[in-house]
Structure 1
Amino acid sequence: MTRSTPRWHLRPLVLAVALGSNIAYSQTEKLSEEQVEPKQATRALEEVIVSAQKVEQSSQDVPISLTAVSGDMMRDLGGAGLQDIAPYIPNVRFSSDTDPALAQINIRGFGSNPLNAAFESSVGFVQDEVFFARPSYYNEAIFDVARVEVLRGPQGTLFGKNTVAGVFNVTTQSPTEEFSGFVQATQSDPDEIRLEGAVGGAITDWMAVRFSAMDIDKEGQLYNQFLDRYDDKHEQDAQRLKIDLTPTENISVELLGVVGETSANYWGLQLQNLDDGTRAFLQNYDPNIEDDPYNHRTSYDQPGFITKDSQTLSAKMDWYIGKVGAVDELTSTIVVADTELNLDSLVDLDTSPADLGRLTVASQYEQQSFEWRFSGSSEGLFGLGERLDFVAGAFLFQSNFAQQTQIIAGDDLGAYLTTDDVLQLASGNSSLNTGGLLGALNLAGLPIATLTSAVIGDDRYVLDYLLDVEAGALFGQFSWYLDEHWVITPGLRYSKEKKNGVASGQASCAQAALSLPCIMGTALSAENYNEPNLERTETDLSPKLSVQYYINNDTNLFVTYSRGFKSGGFNASSFGGEDLNFEPENATTIEGGLKGEFFNNTLRLNAVAYRTYFDDLQVLAFNGAFFDVTNAASAISDGVELDFTWLTPLPILQVSGSVGLLDARYEDYPDAPAPIAQGNTAKQDLSNRRISLAPKQTASLTPNLQFPLFGLAASTSVDFLYQGDQYTDGDLDPATFLPGYTTISARFSLASLEQGWVISVGGSNLTDEKISGQTIDTVFFPGSYNSRQKSQRKVFASLMYNW
């Protein structure tokens, strides 16, 4: 049995791509002029080509659970980012659809909270074959996308490092032989303008270029009634240049450069569940203070901001060597990359109209990576089997990260010391109060705030964190085709990683010269420390084994065992220098499934059942102001993932959908942090309790109609998207529980077959569901919370031209 691996080629966008899981670029048929005629040609789903195993092959031949999403679909949604396509992918969750820096992604219940800079993401991010180790890259250059592949489960054999939960593998469009491009303008309400475009083609017979760009200007939805501004206002622009060179018929080189800049108001939180004492205190600063987390209104005094810029240069060279001994089609691939990302931010630490504390973070990140691999095939192994395809290589990585965090006392901190909240934090009893006795000292008009601010002066606690990483790996994988039915795919990766760090915390204030304690350091229970020589070296061996049985050329069953490793590190937010080290985590998954195409290739159905076991799971614990990195003992995730695409007997109707079932829970976690209302140091036993940010069900259903209309090609789609109930904070505080919800999106487009014009209108969350993406503890107000609300209803109109 022969399974071809055809090369991917770009199809112009004519119609909206149907949505759903495994909704790749090839799943919506282009309506040709012949198809507009009453007599329809035989329909069939096109092959979906992916690079999930470092070689181009059909997604149906990859023995893991994956979803492929096309760039056409993302543009059809009005210029979407990765967070916008997550609802269509089973068991994948983004905590925020508005944060430009702190992308938290969970796959099968596992991910990494980016609030602590030491925490590397458990979900790897790869773009154009370059692995990026910081979560801020998820929002950097998502434009002119060809496809996004979401690989669920440990991907420790072939991809970068720290991919224990999965990988987002993004491929952007490459230059075409013919001059081509597109331009798209999208206007949305709430007010947002997105411009995206690309142009390029062959300049000579050995050189082709493509230039693409994006510009976003978003007014925002979260209104700050105190500062009279929108606190999620967002501006972003980015440009990419790709150059393809073919100096010989056997060598091809791709040169790539990307730059991006982001400027936004920050950081988009709303108060929730204020008690009477806290409300009375805050009303001195804003009489209209409120704690509704679902009204897109907030009230805090610091004009928070974030600025971010990045630059990436990479080069990829493919050398087709050909036949060497018993090896056929031997190809050498080298990928080298250099990138840097700078970030500067200010946030209102108390998220209130009182000036209690400010948080500034400035960081610089640089990364260099090098990968050299070989791929090819031979006639079996030791003379056995029909064919053997292999990929093997080496990966080198180094990075430098420097961050300074300052927690600065506000002018109203002295007045805050007269509140019951201070007693509650000190005692760990959130119900403790003085009956208003302390609060009476802070009545409007009394000069207590002025007097105390003069005494406090410039008072801050400063955290400095430096981290140098050197990592290397050897990897290999081969697929052994025993006969027309059986394929065995073993793989192995040996990794070694060395980290050197510096961590320090220092209180700074005027009264320190008099040997008096600093206010902010005291409030945080922080001590001065300096650890200049942190060091750890770790090695790992991650195996993989897949067995596939092809019932026929279109349908196969598979079982895959895989293991992943995520390195340990040093706590970037310690307030005393204790417990700076945290240990590596390991993930082991076994999954079995079916991938098939039925009814003359009009129905594609993929189904997977899995179990993942995590050992020494890395988690964050809220310490009153920041999040410390610790290790839970162990965790288990069981689940099912199913997706389908169906070209129905009705010629104009296609239906896509997905279902994810998830049971993610701690197996053993006896010393887990308790809700902060029980005290900063309170513990609880979360053994056999569910993990946060792990909805028990996710589902999508998208019927798509394509039909001729007045000589044009029309398309309309409706998306029904469901996400089940979940906790949104790691301590499983009942106040952070989010019930399940359903949102509805829809689009309608008209396309000119001759000229490539596409006019679209649509919207997301059309029923305007009020949804909290995440609820976490506040810093200063025990028993109260900060909530990050997901976007409200959005409608858009888009004009696109392809040539």
Structure 2
Amino acid sequence: MLTVNTVRWCALGLASCVAQTSLAADAVSGHNAESSGRRMLEEVVVSAQKVEQSSQDVPISLTAVSGDFMREVGATGLQDIAPYIPNVRFSSDTDPALAQINIRGFGSNPLNSAFDSSVGFVQDEVFFNRPSYYNEGMFDIARVEVLRGPQGTLFGKNTIAGVFNVTTKGPTEEFSADFRVNKTDPDEVSYEGGIGGMVTDWFGVRVAAQDISRDGQLHNQFLNRQDDEHEQNAQRLKLLFLPSENVSVELMAVTSETSANYWGLQLMNLDEGTTDFLKNYDPNIEDDPYNFTSSYDQDGFLDKTSDTLSLKTDWDIGPVGALNNLNMVLVLADTELTIDSLVDLDTSPANLAILEVVSDYEQQSAELRFSGTADNLFGIGSGVEFVVGAYFFDSRFSQQTQITAGSDFGAYLLTDDALQLVSGQTSVSSGGLLGGLNLAGIGLISDITGAAIGDDYLQLDYLLNVDAQAIFAQMTWALTDQFIITPGIRFSREQKVADASGAGFCQTAALGTPCLMELALSAEDYDERGLSRKETDVSPKLSFQYYLNSDSNVFLTYSRGYKSGGFNASSFGGEDLGFDPEEAATIEAGFKGEFFDNTLRLNAGVYQTQFDNLQVLAFNGAFFDVTNAASAISRGLEMDFVWLTPFEPLTIAGSLGLLDAKYDSYPNAPAPVTSGLNSNQDLSGKRIAFAPEQSASFTPTLTLPVFGLAMRASVDYLYQGNQFTDGDLDPNSYLEGFSQISARISIGAWDQRWALTLGGSNLTDEKVLNQVLDTVFFPGSYNARQKSGRKVFASLSFAW
């Protein structure tokens, strides 16, 4: 049971273990099929515990998705496969910078960059500590492993909700190549390809690239452009050196450039006064969040570049003393990420405020680990497998934020919205006086105040240096042929040093007059240098696993993790800059098994997670404060199956997630803006946002011969349950559950050297919101982010 297996991925499909299983339509071992004359589910091998293992032998909740499945469904990123994975949610289908991922209801709001992501991201064994990396290098994928729950023992800090562990393709023993072109309506074209193999006995290479051009679906009626237009091109080079029979060295370089119109929000729930004011700038202004129509006056944009260089050395040392085989892995990495963005902060046709953010991130890391096996431990048991190592991490993050008053900001000050924002009371009204003045002289007011205001902006500067180290160990000990125990532990140390400042700048500052933007945002000048915090953490893990027979087992696992504390990167006043680390402990029990001669795989698990000092963002009427909630708890179930039915052409796969995530104690939570700015409420016992009560998928796939070719047809039923999408649980952010249908049909060679696929997602064109947030300048109104509408695509792929 502890034997390391050769990785044999399904020819086409999605596979998983513990609480999830394969969704592959043809997850059949060709070798076994030929020798036994029957179909069999492929074995899936993963690296979820830093060593290659059969997925069915890993006592944690994970889902493994093959790159072939991603290409089959037309996925260009991780957000496109999330609907197939129970209790995993992405807050946006298209945002290239502010990726928010929630697993089992927990994640981190990216609107304040002080937060590290609660869901860790690892690609080719390199841990990336910024959520913007989720959109980088997602091409030429071999597999994606989604690990649920705290993964602190082996993957370290900031994996408190889980980990996305991505592996890309490398040089193969024989030279091979593949290419895919994908055309989608609404207009999107993507190209992806890779070529490589062993050039000599000691040297191999693989080159891969991706190019995406997307027109988008969100039409800006004011600027007559698509606000979610998106372009990305990326390249990856892998060089493999085999200096000796038992040593391999892989050098990898990845670069990516993204350019997008920004950002994809729509106005929602405008009151009469706000509507009248905005009609001065766009007579057709409306607040329907379901029509893919926006009305910004600013040409928002986002430019993002990243460059990563890594070196992985793998040394098969062999037998050493009582160890049967000792292996050493050293991973060194250096990466840089730059983001330059400008957005229309008021998301309206009035020129009220522009938000500009420029950030630079640098990271260096090193991991050294040893793994091996032994016949027993102290003469006890029938086998031992272990991994032990050390990790070193250093990063530097700098960000400059400017919020600049627009030419119409003076006119805005003569509105009830401005009165409410300054007073902090959303019920305050001028009785129509301000509205009358505004409508009577809107153009003149804008001209006069625009000239008087001049260059007026609030600037926030933030610099953060992180230095972290860790040692870790885990052992899988077979006490008997049936009973296995897996203890593990990680000790981490981290130090953060930050500089944070904020100041208003305007032409009247020398006269002692407060700057208008600073006044409107209730901001104050501050300058805090040398902020420092040191943290240590111990993250243990303990699993018990019992094999009922060779094809099924049950497990019980306890694990802990933490996400480090930090300092507010976007404070308006400089108060309460620091926030504490959050911790989580999970206990889960599960069953996984294969039945009917390995044609049915059924896995299920239940869990409970307790979070303490939960890190949250609280809307203060203008922006978001960083704070810690008291505690939260999540309980749920995850189950899925894949069945190679007795009717040989038909495979059925499905999954189910049930989620009950609540604040255990949160007495001073922010209340909706309609209750008054900066007002509080008690959310103890209430549901957490981004925690759908149910999620489910059901996929039948039919494979038939047609004129000597293979025809495959699949239909996906995808469901996501009721949920809130804002942390204050504002009723306006409540989304009803919804269903979506996707389908695809392909025809090609049986050996899959080529295939032509026609397909689509959200074929019934369901109008669904992904997120609803408060607006900055219009209290009681909202910004909504709409999920993608109907998409149809055609793709052609070749492999040789």
Would you call these one fold, judging by a TM-score over 0.5? yes
The equivalent of 2:248 in structure 1 is 252
1:99 aligns with 2:62: no
1:784 aligns with 2:781: yes
| Equivalent-residue separation in structure 2 for 1:18 and 1:390 (angstroms) | 25
Q: For 1:304, which of 275, 300, 319 is the aligned residue?
A: 300
Q: For 1:540, which of 510, 530, 537 is the aligned residue?
A: 537
| Equivalent-residue separation in structure 2 for 1:324 and 1:778 (angstroms) | 63
What aligned pairs does 1:348-747 form with structure 2 within 5 A after superposition? 348-443=344-439, 446-747=443-744
The equivalent of 1:196 in structure 2 is 192
Aligned amino acid, residue 3 of structure 2: S
Contact 2:32 2:39 in 1 (8 A): no
Residues 446-501 of structure 1: per-residue CA shift (max 9 Å, x gap): 40011001111000000000000000000000000011110000000000000000
Question: Aligned-pair distance for 1:441?
Answer: 1.5
Q: Secondary structure at the match of 2:450?
A: helix
Q: Secondary structure at the match of 1:138?
A: helix
CA, structure 1 residues 317+164, in 2 after alignment: closer, same or farther (shift >3 Å)? same
Residues 352-393 of structure 1: per-residue CA shift (max 9 Å, x gap): 000000100000000000000000011211110011100000
Contact 2:150 2:584 in 1 (8 A): yes
The equivalent of 1:6 in structure 2 is 5
Question: Aligned-pair distance for 1:22?
Answer: 4.4
Contact 1:349 1:359 in 2 (8 A): yes
Residues 507-536 of structure 1: per-residue CA shift (max 9 Å, x gap): 000000111110000001111000011000
Question: Aligned-pair distance for 1:434?
Answer: 2.5
Question: Aligned-pair distance for 1:309?
Answer: 0.2
1:773 aligns with 2:770: yes
Unaligned runs of 5+ in 2: none
CA, structure 1 residues 33+567, in 2 after alignment: closer, same or farther (shift >3 Å)? closer
Q: Secondary structure at the match of 1:510?
A: coil
Q: Secondary structure at the match of 2:508?
A: helix
> Mean alpha-carbon deviation: is it higher for 722-731 or for 418-427?
418-427
CA, structure 1 residues 719+189, in 2 after alignment: closer, same or farther (shift >3 Å)? same
| Equivalent-residue separation in structure 2 for 1:299 and 1:431 (angstroms) | 26
Aligned amino acid, residue 597 of structure 1: E
Contact 2:20 2:639 in 1 (8 A): no
Aligned amino acid, residue 795 of structure 1: V
Q: Secondary structure at the match of 1:548?
A: strand
| Equivalent-residue separation in structure 1 for 2:398 and 2:545 (angstroms) | 46
Q: Secondary structure at the match of 1:424?
A: helix
1:276 aligns with 2:276: no
| Equivalent-residue separation in structure 2 for 1:606 and 1:257 (angstroms) | 38
The equivalent of 2:230 in structure 1 is 234
Question: Aligned-pair distance for 1:427?
Answer: 3.4
1:28 aligns with 2:26: yes
What aligned pairs does 1:154-193 form with structure 2 within 5 A after superposition? 154-193=150-189
Contact 2:13 2:27 in 1 (8 A): no
| Equivalent-residue separation in structure 2 for 1:486 and 1:739 (angstroms) | 44
The equivalent of 1:64 in structure 2 is 60
Aligned amino acid, residue 172 of structure 1: T
Q: For 2:332, which of 310, 332, 336 is the aligned residue?
A: 336
* RMSD, aligned α-carbons: 1.8
Question: Aligned-pair distance for 1:31?
Answer: 9.8
| Equivalent-residue separation in structure 2 for 1:565 and 1:429 (angstroms) | 38
| Equivalent-residue separation in structure 2 for 1:591 and 1:672 (angstroms) | 29
Question: Aligned-pair distance for 1:681?
Answer: 1.4
Q: Secondary structure at the match of 2:410?
A: helix
Residues 548-594 of structure 1: per-residue CA shift (max 9 Å, x gap): 00001110100000000111000011111100000000000000000
Contact 2:631 2:663 in 1 (8 A): yes
Question: Aligned-pair distance for 1:426?
Answer: 2.9
The equivalent of 2:41 in structure 1 is 45
Contact 2:193 2:210 in 1 (8 A): yes
Q: Secondary structure at the match of 1:500?
A: strand
Contact 2:494 2:534 in 1 (8 A): yes
Question: Aligned-pair distance for 1:679?
Answer: 2.6
Q: Secondary structure at the match of 2:80?
A: helix
Contact 1:29 1:45 in 2 (8 A): yes
Contact 1:727 1:737 in 2 (8 A): yes
Contact 1:611 1:637 in 2 (8 A): yes
Contact 1:19 1:73 in 2 (8 A): no
Contact 1:120 1:162 in 2 (8 A): yes
Aligned amino acid, residue 599 of structure 2: T
Aligned amino acid, residue 162 of structure 2: G
Contact 2:21 2:602 in 1 (8 A): no
Contact 2:9 2:43 in 1 (8 A): no
Residues 11-65 of structure 1: per-residue CA shift (max 9 Å, x gap): 7x5x676999946597624697998x9x993011010100000000011111011
The equivalent of 1:288 in structure 2 is 284
Fraction of identical pairs, as percent: 65
Contact 2:25 2:652 in 1 (8 A): no
Q: Secondary structure at the match of 2:452?
A: helix
| Equivalent-residue separation in structure 1 for 2:22 and 2:237 (angstroms) | 24
Unaligned runs of 5+ in 1: none
| Equivalent-residue separation in structure 2 for 1:376 and 1:34 (angstroms) | 29
CA, structure 1 residues 31+195, in 2 after alignment: closer, same or farther (shift >3 Å)? farther
Question: Aligned-pair distance for 1:435?
Answer: 3.2
Aligned amino acid, residue 371 of structure 2: S
| Equivalent-residue separation in structure 1 for 2:31 and 2:743 (angstroms) | 26
Aligned amino acid, residue 651 of structure 2: Q
Aligned amino acid, residue 180 of structure 2: Q
Residues 167-209 of structure 1: per-residue CA shift (max 9 Å, x gap): 0000001111111111100100000000000001110001111
CA, structure 1 residues 40+765, in 2 after alignment: closer, same or farther (shift >3 Å)? farther
Q: For 1:207, which of 203, 206, 228 is the aligned residue?
A: 203
> Mean alpha-carbon deviation: is it higher for 468-477 or for 242-251?
242-251
Aligned amino acid, residue 454 of structure 1: A
Aligned amino acid, residue 26 of structure 2: T
Contact 1:566 1:586 in 2 (8 A): yes
| Equivalent-residue separation in structure 1 for 2:58 and 2:752 (angstroms) | 37
Question: Aligned-pair distance for 1:436?
Answer: 2.1
Question: Aligned-pair distance for 1:231?
Answer: 0.2
Q: Secondary structure at the match of 1:157?
A: helix
Question: Aligned-pair distance for 1:432?
Answer: 2.9
Aligned amino acid, residue 743 of structure 1: Q
CA, structure 1 residues 138+17, in 2 after alignment: closer, same or farther (shift >3 Å)? closer
Equivalent residues, number: 798
| Equivalent-residue separation in structure 2 for 1:591 and 1:489 (angstroms) | 14
Contact 2:25 2:701 in 1 (8 A): no
CA, structure 1 residues 714+544, in 2 after alignment: closer, same or farther (shift >3 Å)? same
Contact 1:16 1:715 in 2 (8 A): no
1:263 aligns with 2:268: no
Residues 213-254 of structure 1: per-residue CA shift (max 9 Å, x gap): 000000010000000000000000000011111110110111
1:320 aligns with 2:316: yes
Q: Secondary structure at the match of 1:261?
A: strand
